[in-house]
Chains A and B, each alone.
Chain A
Amino acid sequence: MILVQGLKYVINKKHRTRLPKSDCTQWIVTEKDEITFFDNTVSAKFLCRGNFYWWVETCKATNNPLQIGRTDLHYAYIAKFRSDNNNEWHGYPVTGERNPHDVPPTSILESWFKNKVFSKKEVSDITRGRGYVRSCA
């Protein structure tokens, strides 16, 4: 467990050591990157009313989202962070496909839209449960 801006953060091995599946996405970035993402989202105040932090890592040159995780079929680009009963935070990549709990709320999507991380079509697809994914094939 480490402290990130005063918040306890734990690397959850479930999202690093198992086979990638749609209901158990796996990080494909380092633990150091995962913690950096959490640090960034806390700084950016991307905390939603549901008490989740959200993050998309983008390429500095193009502003395009970067792959940070995967399922068995798709690469994932959105990170979701949650706290448990001990106020310890952990995170995992999400695709946003078909899972109402893995679709970022309006406040987060609006910020990504206005900062041109996602296009209007991409935000529209995410809200409709189509996710933001690329095939692993």
Chain B
Amino acid sequence: MSDLALNLKIEGDFIDSFIYSGVLYILDTEYNFSSYFWADICQYIKQRNNRRNTLDQNLYYYLTDNTAFTRRNLNVDTELNLTELNKLRKDIININCWPSDICIYSNKLYYAGDDGVYFIDTDYQTAEFKKDKKLNKIFGTKSFAISPANYHRVALAAGIQGVYTTCFYNNKNNPEEKKISNESSIDIEWMNNELFINSKNFCINKFQEILKKSEIEENPQLSNIREELSKKSRLGNLPDTGISTKSYFDYVRSVLRATPEHIDLSSNYVYGWSSGDVNYFLRNNNSITAKDNNRQSSLEIPIGDYNLNILRARTSGCGTILENNDGKLFLLTKGKIEEISHDSVSWRVYPRARNHSNHLHVINDDDLTVKIYHRSNESSYFHSFLSKNKN
């Protein structure tokens, strides 16, 4: 029985793709970002392929929203050509560069261009780009990987230049850059206050959690923070209960400026990534250790027999994708590793997504293949979803 609910080959000459809040963004080799409502694409395929019975309705609902019910015996293997795709396009914007990385977070499309990192505001309700006259530049050095976090922070892997964060919470025209690691890295991931820095010396930097104003005011265990901030707000006739907005923003700014804590890890770990509540560590290509931070449990999966020589790995609802030095892609799910591609250009999964966590996008020479996997009914370390804590 296939794990795939959808295998959609979208014809075209593409560089990258990203799905976010129901909108599919595709970057082509003319450096145009085009946007499409994903539901429109699913609806179009359903009507074109004449799939109208109730079971198919359920399947198509699952394709639009991966949290919906799914039957594992249903799947769609189909194509979309460029003419069809262009009819479904909602908006287009040119970025005039082949970016090293793209990422959409909090309705901002970040891209790493030739001379720095930029963002474009997006609107998931209209699928349109905000076309500012001036480019929004948030970092001045070419970077190889982008990983955004909350409060307008972005971590950047600039290779031998090190790892930086940039933050424009205060002022988008004057972002604050900070070097947080000298490690030469081209692969980072910021998840749940932890920044995984993959380099010759794999490490994690842990950032201080930023509490919401309501949490500080309502949680009895945070009385020390509340008292400290309340003292600062006792100016004239401000109330003693609660904290002022100004004090709260000062608190946020002070946390944003704090240096992250360097976490010591086992020297056996050579690579790491995170998804949901699980942290994953590769041990010298011989095994993967998955540690569930919620359940305080872990599992070790031996992979030495496969001789994979892993270059990059990520986990989402579709499973764990492993890319090796030969450019092959493998899908690791409970109990098996299968090769899913041997000549892809690039790939992406969406561990932070609510409704698209089972998507795997693979860019090939002549197409973008969107694979959506059925949601596993069994609990598994190698599928993961949004953190049960705050994300």
Residue in A50, A106, A128 with the greatest tally of chain B CB atoms within 10 Å: A128
* Residues from chain A with Cβ under 8 Å of B363 in the complex: 120, 124
Q: Across the interface, do B96 and A130 meet the contact criterion of CB distance under 8 Å?
A: no
Instruction: Evaluate contact between A100 and B161: CB separation under 8 angstroms.
Output: yes
Please, which residues of chain B bring their CB within 8 A of the CB of A124? 15, 345-346, 363
Does A103 lie at the interface of the complex (its beta carbon under 8 Å from any beta carbon of B)? yes
Of B31, B159, B343, B346, the contact of A100 (CB 8 Å cutoff): B159
Which residues of chain A in 11-54 are interfacial with respect to chain B, using CB atoms and an 8 Å cutoff? 49-50
A13 to B345, CA, bound (A): 38
Interface residues on B, range: 20 to 34
- Asked whether any CB of chain A lies closer than 8 Å to the CB of B256, the reply is no
**Is A128 in contact with B98, judged by CB distance below 8 angstroms?**
no
A134 at the interface (CB under 8 A from B): no
Q: Is A8 an interface position by the 8 A CB rule?
A: no
Tell yes or no: B344 within 8 A of A by CB: yes
Q: Is B317 an interface residue (CB 8 A)?
A: no
Which residue of A has the minimal Cβ distance to B158?
A100
B42-58 interface (Cβ within 8 A of A): none
Selecting from B76-84, B137-145, B223-231, B283-291, the interface stretch reads B137-145
> In the assembled complex, how far is the CB of residue B323 from the closest CB belonging to chain A, in whole angstroms?
11
CB neighbours (8 Å) of B98 from chain A are 106, 109-110, 123, 127
* B100 contacts A by Cβ under 8 Å: yes
Contact assessment for B100 and A127 in the assembled complex, using a CB-CB cutoff below 8 Å: yes
Is A119's CB under 8 angstroms from B365's CB?
yes
Given the interface contacts A119-B365, A128-B101, A128-B144, does A99 sit within 8 Å of B345 by beta carbon?
A: no
List of B residues within 8 angstroms of A49 by Cβ: 114-115
Q: Does A65 contact B (CB under 8 A)?
A: no
* Cα distance A52–B346 in the bound complex, in angstroms: 28
- B345→A129 contact, CB < 8 A: no
With an 8 A cutoff between CB atoms, is A121 at the interface? yes
* B38, chain A: closest CB distance, angstroms: 24
Kindly list chain A residues whose C-beta atoms are within 8 Å of the C-beta of B29. Answer: 113, 120
Q: Is the CB of B101 within 8 A of A121?
A: no
Asked whether, in the complex, the Cβ of B159 is within 8 Å of the Cβ of A129, the reply is yes
Q: Beta-carbon contacts of B348-391 to A below 8 Å, as 1s and 0s? A: 00000000000000010100000000000000000000000000
Q: Which residues of A contact B15 (CB under 8 A)?
A: 120, 124
Provide the residues of chain A in CB contact with B96, threshold 8 Å: 106
**Nearest-Cβ distance from residue A41 to partner chain B, whole angstroms:** 18
A105-B114, A121-B327 in contact; A100/B144 too (CB < 8 A)? yes
Task: Select the residue from B101, B113, B160, B161 with max chain A CB neighbours within 10 A.
Answer: B160
A98 touches B142 (CB 8 A): no
B63 at interface by CB-CB < 8 Å: no
State whether A121 touches B344 (Cβ < 8 A): yes
| Cα of A102 to Cα of B346 in the assembled complex, Å | 21
Cα(A74)–Cα(B115), bound, Å: 26
Bound: A34/B100 CA distance, A: 29
Instruction: Kindly list chain B residues whose C-beta atoms are within 8 Å of the C-beta of A105.
Output: 97, 114-115
A123 to B363: give the CA distance in the assembly, Å.
13
A127 contacts which chain B residues (CB < 8 A)? 98-100, 144
CA distance A110 to B114 in the complex (A): 12
Once the chains bind, are A103 and B97 in contact (CB under 8 Å)?
A: no
Q: Nearest chain A CB to B290's CB is how many angstroms away?
A: 26
Chain A CB within 8 A of B23 CB: no
User: Closest residue of chain B to A110, judged by CB?
Assistant: B98
Give the docked Cα–Cα distance between A121 and B160 (Å). 22
| Residue of B100, B185, B327, B343 with most partner-chain A CB within 10 A | B100
Instruction: Known contacts A129-B144, A129-B186; decide if A98 and B97 are in contact (CB<8 Å).
Output: no
CB neighbours of B365 from chain A (8 A): 119-121
Q: Nearest Cβ distance between residue A18 and chain B, in whole angstroms?
A: 19
Contact with A along B112-149 (1 / 0, CB 8 A): 01110000000000000000000000000111110000
4 additional A-B pairs beyond A98-B159, A124-B345, beta carbons within 8 Å, are A49-B114, A50-B115, A106-B96, A110-B98
What are 19 A-B pairs at a CB distance below 8 A?
A49-B115, A98-B160, A98-B186, A100-B160, A100-B161, A105-B97, A105-B115, A106-B98, A119-B365, A120-B365, A123-B98, A124-B15, A127-B144, A128-B101, A128-B144, A129-B157, A129-B159, A129-B186, A130-B186
For the complex of A and B, the 8 pairs showing the least CB-CB separation, nearest first, are A129-B144, A100-B142, A129-B186, A98-B159, A105-B114, A106-B97, A121-B345, A127-B100
